[in-house]
Amino acid sequence: MLPARTLVGTLFLVAAVSSAAVPAATAEDECDLPEEMVREIRSYAPVADKIIRFVTEGKFKGRTWNKLAGFVDKFGSRIAGSQNLENAIDFMLNELRKEGLDNVHGEEVTIPHWVRGRESAKLLEPRMQTLPILGLGGSIATPKEGITAELLVVDSFDELHHHKEQAKGKIVVFNENYTTYGESVRYRDYAAVEAAKLGGVATLVRSVTGFSIASPHTGWQDYDSNVTQIPTASITIEDAQMLSRMFKRGEKLKVRLYMEAKTLPPAKSRNTVAEIKGKEKADEVVLVSGHLDSWDVGQGAMDDGGGAFVSWLSLAAIRKLDLRPRRTLRAVLWTAEEEGLVGAASYVEKHKSEEGKLNFVMESDEGTFTPQGLVFSGSKTAGCILKEVLKLTASINATNFQLEKNVGSDITLWTSKGLPGASLMNANEKYFWFHHSAGDMMTVEEPRALDLCTALWAVSSYVMADLSFGIPRN
């Protein structure tokens, strides 16, 4: 297998950037669906209301929050390659079987196995101060004695190259301004490569977030096989700004950096799969998904425990109501998303022969705050169908429709090729405050919001799977 980020890196960045630049949605008057098609979709109003009431007011109320809280409190963080992730997958498979879902199984995936180890950074000159850090995924270690070096502090790649004569032998600090995640994440991804080209010995990168309470945020980064690898870690916004101010005053800054990070041989993991088998067109599939792995800090409750649990619990709610759509509803809980969509890439490759039977794909991986609707990628007709379906969720104010060229992260491997798909639109303005940090805890999640997300997911996936007509790709 190619290195994870080499395999799907371009799509991964496209997915991140898409949240920053959203084209306008198709105007209402551009939709001209046949009247019989519109009538059929609207006929689902009673079953949609039944699902919504059951999940938000009935016996299912609070279940998504309770199940997720029990899971993340039991297992905590679930980084790819860890035994803890595999234990969590075993637990999840057992839960899905207990729910009475069909065809519950794991599908083996070979994944990267990076381990953080102990790490620290300390400002030595002009004064002593501990700097909280989180090594970036895939980073190498420092020598056993650490690296002690002066700092070069820059605000951009352009500024780094402007001061290229000063970079040799320095720890390069990037204090990039945060604009959007899709734009600013390139510093986390490529800081080590750009600094190493100029002789830098390590990099410290300002966390990719717009808000901080002195908390570093981790994430994967990319080396270049033609450039010397150097250790790289994230630092807090506050420390990046402080070091920048001091450097611009002309003060000499020296830091000792110590990291034990290492990449072990590839490990085995599994994508987790469960279904409600279709009653008429069982070979056709509507797929809902989220990823079960997380980073090794916090609990991974938000990224992406919430998305994974909304996905499988939407099937559980449909099963509890004894509903069975025409097509198969399939939930896939991806493994090793954080290392570069590794589980999804494996699934797409193994199920290539079934691609023509995929009717619609959905993913929740940008928070499960109060839902607002769905973000869509696909043909005009498919978008118009989804708009009508979303009208069935008017009682929970989740009818918004947003058109993008690509959606989600894992499902970009399909939507980039024209398969219609959608991701959850939610009030996630604070998502990146907690993303990839120790703050990604169950405290971020709210019971009512999770109920609403589950209801939206269940209604939209069930109706898309049960319609008498397929969802057109062109």
Which H, E and C letters describe 166-181, residue by residue? HCCCCEEEECCCCCCH
43: tokens are 């006929």
DSSP H helical ranges for 364-415: 380-390, 412-415
Please identify which of the residues 119, 194, 284, 337 carries the catalytic annotation: 337
Where do the DSSP E strands lie in 378-459? 400-403, 421-426
350: tokens are 């193994």
pLDDT in tens for each of the 474 residues of the chain?
A: 333 344 444 444 444 444 433 333 444 458 999 999 999 999 999 999 999 999 999 999 999 999 999 999 999 999 999 999 999 999 999 999 999 999 999 999 999 999 999 999 999 999 999 999 999 999 999 999 999 999 999 999 999 999 999 999 999 999 999 999 999 999 999 999 999 999 999 999 999 999 999 999 999 999 999 999 999 999 999 999 999 999 999 999 999 999 999 999 999 999 999 999 999 999 999 999 999 999 999 999 999 999 999 999 999 999 999 999 999 999 999 999 999 999 999 999 999 999 999 999 999 999 999 999 999 999 999 999 999 999 999 999 999 999 999 899 999 999 999 999 999 999 999 999 999 999 999 999 999 999 999 999 999 999 999 999 999 998
Angstrom distance (rounded) from CA 369 to CA 281: 33
pLDDT at position 29 is 54
pLDDT at position 105 is 98
Query: Count of CB atoms within 10 A of residue 197's CB?
Result: 16
pLDDT at position 406 is 85
Identity at 290, one-letter amino acid code:
G
Spatial contact of 334 and 292, defined as CB atoms under 8 Å apart: yes
pLDDT at position 1 is 34
Q: H or E stretch including 451?
A: helix 447-466
Distance of CA 239 to the CA centre of its chain: 26
Report strand pairing: 400-403 vs 358-363.
unpaired
Spatial contact of 151 and 254, defined as CB atoms under 8 Å apart: yes
Spatial contact of 378 and 420, defined as CB atoms under 8 Å apart: yes
The closest of 375, 377, 362, 383 to 27, measured between CA atoms, is: 383
Angstrom distance (rounded) from CA 414 to CA 78: 26
Question: What angle separates helix 342-350 from helix 4-18, to the nearest 10 degrees?
Answer: 110
Q: In the annotation, is 107 catalytic? A: no
Where do the DSSP E strands lie in 367-420? 371-377, 400-403
Spatial contact of 464 and 330, defined as CB atoms under 8 Å apart: no
Report strand pairing: 202-206 vs 171-174.
parallel
Cβ within 8 Å of residue 226, ≥6 positions away: none
12: tokens are 């991964």
Report the Cα–Cα distance between both ends of the chain, in Å, rounded. 32
Q: What is the DSSP letter of 22?
A: -
